[in-house]
Structure 1
Amino acid sequence: MKEILDAILASDSTPADFAHLALPESYRAVTVHKDEVEMFDGLPTREKDPRKSLHLDEVPVPELGPGEALVAVMASSVNYNSVWTSIFEPLSTFGFLERYGRTSPLAKRHDLPYHVIGSDLAGVVLRTGPGVNAWRPGDEVVAHCLSVELESADGHDDTMLDPEQRIWGFETNFGGLAEIALVKSNQLMPKPKHLSWEEAAAPGLVNSTAYRQLVSRNGAGMKQGDNVLIWGASGGLGSYATQFALAGGATPICVVSSPQKAEICRSMGAEAVIDRTAEDYRFWKDENTQDPKEWKRFGKRIRELTGGEDVDIVFEHPGRETFGASVYVTRKGGTIVTCASTSGYMHSYDNRYLWMSLKRIIGSHFANYREAWEANRLIAKGKIHPTLSRTYSLEETGQAAYDVHRNLHQGKVGVLCLAPREGMGVRDRETREKHLPAINRFRNV
């Protein structure tokens, strides 16, 4: 690994230099273990501790197949799917790996007693398999996390509809929280030149997810002038949704849980901000009963901020805790678009407010190839910025996942893999200087 890192850090390394580097037999990777899937049985979700289940192991370099690439990972990041993997909720990811392993002899590589996790990376291509022409060793890349087979017609209009669609590093093995990752070559995209490794690694999953959910015609199809309610507006997903709303001429109504998070939203340019903790919204009377009076109080507060208008779009991802309120506050004919359920998957809402007011609920999951590419292009052009707040070492990934699990973070948290320190990998200083305050916005909190 030292020779690989030396080649990446050298200013004069050529594609031929990278192609002639010897691959190591093994590499360090953050894993969960199959024989530990029951370790948290009986504990409430909040008490399940990723620091106990995530391991830093030395694992063999996987076989490289057709249409694939091995990437030296300089930096990665923690997403909520890493938390789900680490606490074995709602299911152990080993079931995903077993099913994938049964699909072909090559896929069998993924069915192992350990799972290398992580769905983001920024790094350098080391090797490409047969049939790869768009990328070569030495290319600096980021990776989106959509893994598809595209053997069915279903996925050729929208790759997210492929029956064999999976999220790399969550439903596949050999993810990005490691020194080396195995990806399909069509996951690769150019690394934004004005960003450091850790900054470039942070947006991938959440930026693409927010783009499809809010901007794409496959999601809400946001337009200029829309009022957009954004739950968790300073978090990993919400911070990108807030930027897309502002960049697209919409008005974000940012819902956060502390004064510090409210200030982050205002620093991005949002004016309508609701601190739900300070205003003490309690949408549930008890575990089984919601409180419509609180929905109405929430709707009234939104109209105070919008000049009397209801929201056109709700950017939903908390799920159970907020979904009833989301359906209620959406305007007649409006859209609730949901991509996750971090507070619970069993949603409950009053259907009268949906059907009688002609509202729509749209499910949105990650992004197709084109959407991921467009979202990354906006990062590269300096239109949307990383929301990285803190970076951990590979050895500290368990703590990083714990902080995300307990909502102790702002924006995204990064993980240095091969990169020896922060701030490395910047190739375009001029563009960086133009956007430095925005790039560092979440770090300054």
Structure 2
Amino acid sequence: MPTEEIANIRAAILAGEFSDIGKLPLPAYYRGITVHADEADMFTGLPSRDKDPRKSLHLDEVALPAPAHGEALVAVMASAVNYNTVWSALFEPVPTFAFLSRYGRRSALAARHDQPFHVIGSDLAGVVLRTGPGVTLWRPGDRVVAHCLSVELESPEGHGDTLLDPDQRIWGYETNFGGLAHIALVKANQLMPKPRHLTWEEAAAPGLVNSTAYRQLVSRNGAGMKLGDTVLIWGAAGGLGSCATQLALAAGATPVCVVSSAAKAELCRAMGATAVIDRSAESYTFWRDEHTHDEREWRRFGSRIRELADGDVDIVFEHPGRDTFGASLYVARKGGTIVTCASTTGFVHQYDNRHLWMKVKRIVGSHFATYREAWEANRLVAKGRVHPTLSRTYHLEDVACAVYDVHQNLHHGKVGVLCLAPREGLGVEDQESRGRWLPEINRFRSRPASAPGAGRRLDKRESSPDNPFLLRENIAD
């Protein structure tokens, strides 16, 4: 069972007793989803597709860190799975312990993050429990969501764009004590108001993906999308792509949605997209072999886009990487923009550079978002202009299965995780607005995903006796 302190915190939140939550005792230990440094080589030699996160993820109890200056502890009611969760579990492209070690060398406080375990997760919706010195905007009892940019801002480089700060990191991926847990440690400038019309699990779902898509498409730091643009969106029914599709539609642009199944194509149409390409049904294969692009397929793909969108592509929303990047560069119009934030199919890209320089196209790198960009993206959710695309919710003990589903692309939209929330449907404050937008909120839930991966619940393991940060006893149900 959870500790008495955790049980009392959860009971207070469920009862709506937020004003006195800062007076409740904190636990010495809390539960979180971890990977272990001594297992970082467990998948050596395996291709990425064959690595199984159900073997690497654990549910451990770890010592609760105290919030330092500018930090806060948040009771996590719900979280979500992102692709960086998959990377963490697969120990690729490098084990995350390299990030934690480098961060730990920065200062005595940062050294708290350099542990032989890593509590992962880069989304949350919950309630502030404690704040450290210097925090004035937030107080215990505030209902919040968190974005995942952790930044120090002690260097001048970050004060024009915080993504340029040399100490910029992604919380829960390059820092410890992330959101797939009962309690999370965040910087106070990661916090934003929880949208009042959403449940805990719905509110946790858009954070990372919506903020990332906002910077990529809307921000001047990204593509600067404008009214009338045609935007090619890869993986348009996934967590990232579904936010990009909604942002394009809200901005008066024309999304061209690329998906991998008829069911996902239907989801895009339900969001309002009219130009949809089922890549599997139309049998696009952009590589003749492992080393050779097939430019004929690029031309066929470009013709199909012009047929559907009545024009060329102004912006390509890139994140698959190696498999698609050559085609993305080719189909963008002369002077067009390819904006990329990830490489889920491979980090080493190949493309024909003639189509870049001779047609004066731009490639823009985009990595998450600034606090202001994340705040604006969250405000669109609160105003009902962008809706969560939550399709399925797991309990914390079942996170390994959730991560497996995302790794194997068995999901639609976002996969949520209940942490302290005992069930779905809790946490709504504005029922009137919710009723107005309920069909859109439930849009991805009403369609079954592919068969979820058969998996196991995470073992309640006995921790290593020489690790002072893990509870030295089995975790009982």
Structure 2 counterpart of 1:356? 358
Q: Report the Cα offset of residue 426 of structure 1.
A: 0.2
Of the three residues 85, 90, 95, the one matched with 1:87 is 90
Q: Report the Cα offset of residue 132 of structure 1.
A: 0.4
Of the three residues 269, 272, 281, the one matched with 2:272 is 269
Structure 1 CA distance, aligned partners of 2:432 and 2:238? 28
Would you say 1:334 and 2:333 are equivalent positions? Answer: no
Q: How does 1:277-292 map to 2 (within 5 A)?
A: 277-292=280-295
Structure 1 CA distance, aligned partners of 2:110 and 2:99? 11
Of the three residues 150, 168, 171, the one matched with 2:171 is 168
Structure 1 counterpart of 2:408? 406
Name the SS for the 1:86 alignment partner: helix
Would you say 1:105 and 2:108 are equivalent positions? Answer: yes
Would you say 1:151 and 2:154 are equivalent positions? Answer: yes
Amino acid at match of 2:55: K
Structure 2 counterpart of 1:372? 374
Structure 2 counterpart of 1:416? 418
Structure 2 CA distance, aligned partners of 1:215 and 1:234? 19
Structure 2 CA distance, aligned partners of 1:43 and 1:218? 37
Amino acid at match of 2:83: Y
Name the SS for the 2:337 alignment partner: strand
Would you say 1:3 and 2:8 are equivalent positions? Answer: yes
Amino acid at match of 2:323: E
Structure 2 CA distance, aligned partners of 1:196 and 1:57? 26
Structure 2 counterpart of 1:34? 37
Structure 2 CA distance, aligned partners of 1:277 and 1:4? 48
Name the SS for the 2:75 alignment partner: strand
Structure 1 CA distance, aligned partners of 2:292 and 2:200? 46
Name the SS for the 1:441 alignment partner: coil
Of the three residues 422, 425, 428, the one matched with 1:426 is 428
Structure 1 CA distance, aligned partners of 2:43 and 2:157? 38
Give the TM-score normalised by the residue count of structure 2.
0.92
Structure 2 CA distance, aligned partners of 1:269 and 1:425? 28
Structure 1 counterpart of 2:225? 222
Unpaired stretches in structure 1, ≥5 consecutive residues: none
Q: How does 1:311-350 map to 2 (within 5 A)?
A: 311-350=313-352
Of the three residues 164, 179, 182, the one matched with 1:179 is 182
Amino acid at match of 1:133: T
Give the TM-score normalised by the residue count of structure 1.
0.99
Would you say 1:54 and 2:40 are equivalent positions? Answer: no
Name the SS for the 1:57 alignment partner: strand
Q: What are the Cα deviations for residues 417-437 of structure 1, in whole angstroms up to 9, with x where unaligned?
A: 000000000000000001000
Structure 1 CA distance, aligned partners of 2:189 and 2:235? 31
Structure 1 counterpart of 2:257? 254
Q: What are the Cα deviations for residues 260-318 of structure 1, in whole angstroms up to 9, with x where unaligned?
A: 000000000000000010000010000000000000000000111122x1100000000
Amino acid at match of 2:112: R
Would you say 1:123 and 2:131 are equivalent positions? Answer: no
Structure 1 CA distance, aligned partners of 2:366 and 2:67? 31
Q: Report the Cα offset of residue 14 of structure 1.
A: 4.3
Structure 2 CA distance, aligned partners of 1:21 and 1:220? 46
Q: What are the Cα deviations for residues 357-391 of structure 1, in whole angstroms up to 9, with x where unaligned?
A: 11000000000010000000000111100000000
Structure 2 counterpart of 1:381? 383
Structure 2 CA distance, aligned partners of 1:288 and 1:220? 30
Name the SS for the 1:189 alignment partner: strand
Name the SS for the 1:299 alignment partner: helix
Q: What are the Cα deviations for residues 156-205 of structure 1, in whole angstroms up to 9, with x where unaligned?
A: 11111111000000000000000000000010000000000000000000
* Structure 1 moving runs of 4+ over 4 Å: none
Q: What are the Cα deviations for residues 228-262 of structure 1, in whole angstroms up to 9, with x where unaligned?
A: 00000000100000000000000000000000000
Name the SS for the 2:239 alignment partner: coil
Amino acid at match of 1:262: A
Structure 1 CA distance, aligned partners of 2:161 and 2:377? 16
Q: Report the Cα offset of residue 74 of structure 1.
A: 0.1
Q: Report the Cα offset of residue 63 of structure 1.
A: 2.2
Q: What are the Cα deviations for residues 332-372 of structure 1, in whole angstroms up to 9, with x where unaligned?
A: 00000000000001101111111101100000000001000
Name the SS for the 2:173 alignment partner: coil
Structure 2 CA distance, aligned partners of 1:136 and 1:207? 25
Structure 2 CA distance, aligned partners of 1:437 and 1:127? 36
Q: What are the Cα deviations for residues 312-335 of structure 1, in whole angstroms up to 9, with x where unaligned?
A: 000000000000000100000000
Of the three residues 212, 216, 219, the one matched with 1:213 is 216
Unpaired stretches in structure 2, ≥5 consecutive residues: 1-5, 448-477
Structure 2 counterpart of 1:235? 238
Structure 1 CA distance, aligned partners of 2:244 and 2:337? 15
Structure 2 CA distance, aligned partners of 1:19 and 1:374? 28
Aligned length: 442
Amino acid at match of 1:231: W
Structure 1 CA distance, aligned partners of 2:95 and 2:161? 28
2:214–2:373 Cα contact (<8 Å) kept: yes
Name the SS for the 1:442 alignment partner: coil
Give the alignment's Cα RMSD to 1 decimal: 0.5
Would you say 1:25 and 2:28 are equivalent positions? Answer: yes
Name the SS for the 1:176 alignment partner: coil
2:261–2:278 Cα contact (<8 Å) kept: yes
Q: Report the Cα offset of residue 19 of structure 1.
A: 1.5
Structure 1 CA distance, aligned partners of 2:12 and 2:71? 22
Structure 2 CA distance, aligned partners of 1:159 and 1:21? 35
